[in-house]
Structure 1
């Protein structure tokens, strides 16, 4: 009888345990009065279970049956608590808050009031009532960004050539988004306009022949100064279907130092890597190297279809120790070379916050190492994570020298975009050392300025030098470059003037000036096939026939809006009549087909930045 009673009690306990641990899935969309809201925090009340809305305002969250309500929070909006009941779909509309944004600071990938991070006893608003808690002091912000001096205007008669390397990186945009969603205008040097423009995909035809890249142009008036012209140069790389991509030899180089313990660092790295693993095929190989106090191999080369083995190795990663980044990079390259695929894609993928602080880690040493390794056929891509000690300056340089790209992963949606949606472009190079050189006709052009690309400028003689490294383009990549042009005869404050020379007469301008044609400029374009050391040349001519801005493509409108927004964030000396209101209006006109919601997310971001800028102006006036 006692045995029967014990068994009955045991089953009752198991039933109670099962019921207590039963979960359900809730999904829905979060909007305001006008559009979907990306980046909204969704929390199961009374738990630590959270998620965020994606670029289209959608969310999905798994919660225990015991949870009664969901809490929706977003900077600039009133918090909303919604009872779950028996619903599986909960759509929410948030109302704008009148609370001043200068009370908000970035903490993790979210926001808190300044009073909650002072390191003293603070009153914290809970989900149902106020409570008193001690909040530990936050570490000092040691983020670093390389200084950017914006490109100025050049007088075409004195300096008719403009030469630069392409840049497909997009890290600056997602990092800027992190700041704005956290209630702050980003530091000016965190804003690299070309990376913001190139975060978005544009509808450009690919090459019609066997060329790896096609070039397109569009000329209109500059939105921030209608007396000036705005030239858009668009490059589109050939798209290779995933099944036809060459085999990959990938080495994940993962920072597991103590600085990576935060939720938006190593845990997000692990989720990101699993997304990438899901894209791999049997012919691909993956190795995992980690570094903290020392570097080590935690996964020997493993076929891409052994996903359980690879994911188990990722799951076992834990953060702790100091950061021997230099040793980790050396070991990762060693593993990559030992498994080199001569006709394949050999790449080290570094995931870190960039805080190398122990060992042989000087920038010069690592740059020399990476340059040597890329010449041996192993490229480097960099994925940046976290905040507070984030070293953007170092990671951008490493990716640049390693013939790879650089992305900032601030949430799981960004990981999906980089490692799933743009899988081919992120990992598979179709054209390397891509350079452009523009020759402006002084008969048509008084002055010109390249918007962005400050750290990609080349000397004019570098264009024909095949030994000079330049940017690379991956499968399906698009690259956009914008030039602001002052037509001949237009009065402006940027061309400048010098006194006539006393001892020599200036040489007559060469180039297109004597042709008498309507040509405004010629674009020369050089690139190499991935396995070639010799470049190919193509060119295009742009005539002085601008299209009315209202009649330009939606992509032209949108790209110009992003550039205008970037100039405002930087408080650029060349912003002229630019304004947040105008950039937002132009972006709406250029929204076009936005299936994944990235352009809608940008519009919302610009609206939030406009509010933050007003708050800064009010604070400065006091």
Structure 2
């Protein structure tokens, strides 16, 4: 399937011209009424015209009415539907690869995970579920705008307010995990995390190399922390990687230690370089399907290592009702294990899906960037038996679209809806937001700094895919040296360390691409 494709609202429309518009993907949250009220940028025109070094893309998708996109949106093609996703592993792995002096494989670059890695600026609901924001900005390409759909959950609770957790850690101890920054990093972080979990939380540890072993059955931390630390300290790298055995044994251990009223989760820590036993994600997941479906045990994948099986880990997490992160150093590991994982223990929504309906009277074409592996058939939006995303408190999710409006378009442009199941009762809920043409900012530079950060991250992902015929480049993309300057300006304005790291990574890529 072509990774980026234009959705056409009328079969008679012409293909996109060489003056195609700006498009991106992102992670964020937003205002419930659907129009932006954030302050605009203050540093003038940040996003330059296309440069011959990277750009010149037309934005044309080359699809026709007979393309396989029709399986997702039959004519009239005005709907876009996808499962929510908060993965960030693609960006973390790209940073690690660039820091080591290599450009990442384009197949590992997922634009939405780049944007999902950065904080956004949205209002949040008081209870479970989401706020919905729909806003956007016009671009310097005729009739093209960037439309942002932002979804946000309630703030993460204090540690004492969440349900207890029953966490089964499935830890890769194969020979490849001996490399610095793999098993040693995981052990240190697990030790710190053990000290931060509550007394009423429980932990189990399963290891795998050529075979899998339950090192520690589900153990309540109250009075038993030393036993958990001893089990962590005993981990040493050994032989080959039978990931299937590890996942299967991990889920069996999780079921044996299942706690009613607690959040039961399997945490897979691996470089995902499976070389023994089943190595196909679908086969592995089929072996533990009953545990996932009957007991609601979700999977959190943590990737490590300079050689990393990105595709396998992503598919395991997507199909295992979970998500992925990647750790490359001690700071990443502390953030994932000590900040993100405790935040992800609780759930606010199960099987969450988004659907955006564009008004064919005002919109001629649109494209969703990213979420290539998360597309859902439009007719399945309200089919609650179809898997969506599992989302916890403190999360934001953004989808950005390149939208081509009809000349002189006025009035309604789009309505975005999110549907989810209550994590306890499984009762369905929906929330929506609208966008009117007169709510669009006059330019991207007038939009909020956080929207500009999302744009920069998406352009960076696009640059790393440049030259790969599987994806068309984003139109209007700045050259990498210009993009680095944009990121540096935004880092100063937002005073955000992670945006400085983005500027640094863009600089690495620029030098490697020269």
Both proteins in one fold, TM over 0.5: yes
Are 2:413 and 1:525 aligned? no
Q: Distance in 2 between matches of 1:362 and 1:457?
A: 21
CA-based RMSD: 2.0
| Mapped contact 1:373–1:379 kept (Cα < 8 A) | no
Q: Distance in 2 between matches of 1:608 and 1:326?
A: 36
Q: Point out the more displaced range, 320-329 or 176-185.
A: 320-329
1:221 Cα offset (Å): 2.1
Are 2:458 and 1:563 aligned? yes
Q: Distance in 2 between matches of 1:227 and 1:150?
A: 23
Corresponding residue of 2:147? 231
Are 2:481 and 1:573 aligned? no
Corresponding residue of 1:192? 110
Q: Distance in 1 between matches of 2:410 and 2:9?
A: 17
2:208 to 291, 296, 317: 291
Mapping 1:444-593, distance limit 5 Å: 444-489=362-407, 518-545=411-438, 546-548=440-442, 549-571=444-466, 572-579=471-478, 580-591=480-491
Number of positions where the alignment pairs a residue of Structure 1 with one of Structure 2: 439
Corresponding residue of 1:265? 182
2:315 to 375, 397, 413: 397
Residue 581 to residue 322, structure 1, CA distance change in 2 (3 Å): closer
Listed as ranges, the gaps of 5+ residues in structure 1 are: 1-147, 491-515, 615-622
| Mapped contact 1:272–1:416 kept (Cα < 8 A) | yes
Are 2:227 and 1:309 aligned? yes
Are 2:123 and 1:205 aligned? yes
Residue 310 to residue 261, structure 1, CA distance change in 2 (3 Å): same
2:81 to 148, 163, 166: 163
1:202 Cα offset (Å): 1.2
Residue 298 to residue 530, structure 1, CA distance change in 2 (3 Å): same
| Mapped contact 1:218–1:232 kept (Cα < 8 A) | yes
Are 2:258 and 1:363 aligned? no
Are 2:101 and 1:214 aligned? no
| Mapped contact 2:268–2:301 kept (Cα < 8 A) | yes
Higher relative CO (Cα under 8 Å, sequence separation at least 6) belongs to 2
Q: Distance in 2 between matches of 1:423 and 1:594?
A: 25
1:297 Cα offset (Å): 1.5
Report the TM-score when normalising by structure 1: 0.68
Q: Distance in 2 between matches of 1:195 and 1:370?
A: 27
1:592 Cα offset (Å): 6.4
1:282 Cα offset (Å): 0.5
1:327 to 237, 245, 248: 245
Mapping 1:29-44, distance limit 5 Å: none
Are 2:514 and 1:611 aligned? no
Q: Distance in 1 between matches of 2:280 and 2:115?
A: 31
Q: Name the SS of the counterpart of 1:429 in structure 2.
A: coil
Q: Name the SS of the counterpart of 1:455 in structure 2.
A: coil
Q: Distance in 2 between matches of 1:606 and 1:150?
A: 23
| Mapped contact 2:132–2:417 kept (Cα < 8 A) | no
Q: Distance in 1 between matches of 2:437 and 2:454?
A: 21
Q: Distance in 1 between matches of 2:419 and 2:264?
A: 24
Listed as ranges, the gaps of 5+ residues in structure 2 are: 11-75
Q: Distance in 2 between matches of 1:596 and 1:554?
A: 11
Q: Distance in 1 between matches of 2:206 and 2:351?
A: 28
1:242 Cα offset (Å): 1.6
Corresponding residue of 2:165? 248
From the CA coordinates, give the structure whose radius of gyration is larger: 1
Corresponding residue of 1:413? 331
Report the TM-score when normalising by structure 2: 0.81
Give deviations 1:83-141, integer Å, cap 9, x for gaps: xxxxxxxxxxxxxxxxxxxxxxxxxxxxxxxxxxxxxxxxxxxxxxxxxxxxxxxxxxx
